[in-house]
Every structure is written in C-alpha cells, then in structure tokens.
Amino acid sequence: MQSSGRCVSCDPERGCHQEGRGSVTERGDRSPRVTPGEVLRRVKAVGRCPAITQREHDHHDQRRGPGEESCPFADRHVSEPGDHLNKCYHRCESGRSTVPLARLHCIPTVTEAPASRRLDNGLMMHALEARHAPVISLWVWYHVGGRNEVPGTTGMSHFLEHMLFKGTPKHPKGDLDKLLARYGALWNAFTSEDVTCYFETVPAERYPVALELEADRMRNALITVEETEAERNVIVSEREGLENDPSFLLGEQLQAVAFARHPYAQGVIGSKDDIKLMTRDGLYAHYRRHYAPNNAYFIVAGDAPAEELLDRAASAFGSLDAEVPIESPKAPEPPQYGEK
C-alpha cells in the first residue's frame, strides 16, 4: 500500500515547514472505552469463555473439527466481531455458563514469539499470526503523552488525538467512518501519560485499508483552525463531564500530590484553562515533532502469516520520513523524606 504521495513536510493549512493518569479514550460515539488494562482483562476473559473455537465469528465456516462447538454468542454476523467479543466478555465475567463441561473449548494459548522488524525510517514492528478469528488487529503506539507537556500546554497530546480523526487530504473527514463502517471494522484511540495509541480491528482481507489509514495520518493529518475550534468545545465538555465524577477529582488531586515536578502531576486531559488556550499552530507543531515512524511502534496480530503482516506494513510505512528525535522534558523528582 502506497502513501498518499504528499510532501511529508507540508502543512495543508499553513504551507511548508522545515521543522522536521490513566488513559483518556476517544471515539466514545463509535466504540466503547478501551484501555490497555481493559484489553488484557477482555483477552483473559475470552480465553475462559465456554465453547469459543477458532473462527467462532463465522458460523458458516465449515472447517471446524469434529466435536467442536461454536460459542453460544456466535450467531452474530461476521461483520460484528466487537459486539461478539463484548458479549463473550460480559458473559464470562458473570461466571454463570450453562454449557456442559464436556463441551468447553478455549482459545489456544499463544506461546510463539512475534516476528519483529525495524524499518530504515526507525519504525519498530511486531507481528503475530493468530488464527482464532478471520480478523486482524493493528495498533500504532506513539511515544508521546502527558509527560511531553509543560504547564500551559497540558492536554495537548489528548487534544491532538481528537484531531487525527478529522481526516487527511486523501481521506477527508467523514470518509474514514463510512469506509471502516462498511467493512464492519472497529477503531478507536487513547492517550495516557506516556503514549498515544490508535487501533483498528478489521476483517482480514481489509488489512491493507487499515494500514493505508494509519500510514496516511501518521504524517498527513489535516489540522485546521476551524476543526480546532470545534473540537475545543468537545474536549471542554469532556473535561466537565469528568469533573462530575468524584473519583476523577480525587485521582487528579492524588496525582498532583504524588509528583512535585514531573509532568505526571498534570494529568492527561489537561486543565480547562490550557484547553481553552490551545492553538492550531501549537497542535500542528506537536504533531510534526512526535508523529513520525522513528517515534512509534507498530503491533499487529491476526489471521495471516506474521511475515506477510510485516511485509504489508513495510510497504505502507516504509516511505515515510523520520523526524529528529525529541527528548521528553526532564523534571526529576526531589528526594522524598517522609510520607505524603
């Protein structure tokens, strides 16, 4: 899959440039909140799910072995793997299966090491063949989050995450939703203190589409003044919604007390004042500094050989230029001589 062909140093809005907590999850209007811990919990839960076999989503698959039963929730259409996973997860958490023990099957434990490759532009890639379902899940992790912000710019990484759903010159806003929805894909993102992550789960044959999307928005995201102003209101509203939760306020205060100097004290979503003062140019500069192949990891697992998954990813990301590495702000904590 080829990149969009645009000059990677060009800003569609301003012209060309020479410059080379817990997590906050987005896409709430399209997908449920997902964090790394939640992903792990769901994987473990589905691993205990009764009667899950390979390719349980496709109830037309004739390749099941003798005696293998489908998951009791596998009567969903194949284009709804996320719904099926959620149903299995919630059912397993309840611990009240009515399936006889003799019919229980679990997803096989993955023991082999993933295939790995580093591209010339610095992108580190890991791939794992997983034949449990006819889908592929890919994750792009950027080494940028709340720790890369200073007072006055808190919440910038989270704000920028919103902006990467606004499209590119090749994939305008709205087209991405329609395209992925047509294929029954799930996609979302989250920001934490240390990373920002974007991920999709797509039917295996649509893997190239998801690759093209992620490679394109790694360097070609449209960040306009108009969209910045519109999204500012969304994020302020998100912040105000969190403030209605006492546990959020408590966690925010605890984090501020625990860290005297480190950016971890600031939280991920940022202060309301900083969100209101965020500028389009500041967001774009943050994007150009941190969204580059040499500041990212690409992780993929799914229904294809690992080397094939890596080959396709290399074709999509290999032509992108690296950026000059940027160090995170240094703010060592002072010695702690007593209990806080």
Of 89, 103, 110, which Cα lies nearest the Cα of 50? 103
Give the Cα separation of 10 and 219 in Å (integer).
9
Residues 6+ apart with CB under 8 A from 149: 155, 156, 157, 263, 266, 270, 329
Q: State phi, psi for 275 to the nearest 5 degrees.
A: -60, -40
Class of residue 271 by CB neighbours under 10 A (exposed 0-12, middle 13-18, buried 19+): middle
Assess whether 323 carries a catalytic annotation: no
The active-site residue out of 26, 69, 149, 161 is 161
Calculate ∠ Cα 67-71-76, nearest 5°. Answer: 130
Q: d(Cα 242, Cα 270) in Å, to the nearest integer? A: 12
- Are 61 and 216 a contacting pair, CB within 8 Å? no
**Residues 79-85: contacts with CB under 8 Å, at least 24 apart:** 79/183, 79/184, 79/203, 80/184, 81/57, 81/133, 81/135, 81/184, 81/186, 81/201, 82/31, 82/186, 82/201, 84/56, 84/57, 85/42, 85/46
- Determine the Cα–Cα distance for residues 182 and 289; give it in Å rounded to an integer: 33
Residue 264: φ, ψ to 5°: -55, -25
Cβ 45 vs Cβ 97: under 8 Å = no
Measured CA to CA, the distance from residue 155 to residue 149 in angstroms comes to 8
Catalytic residues: 161
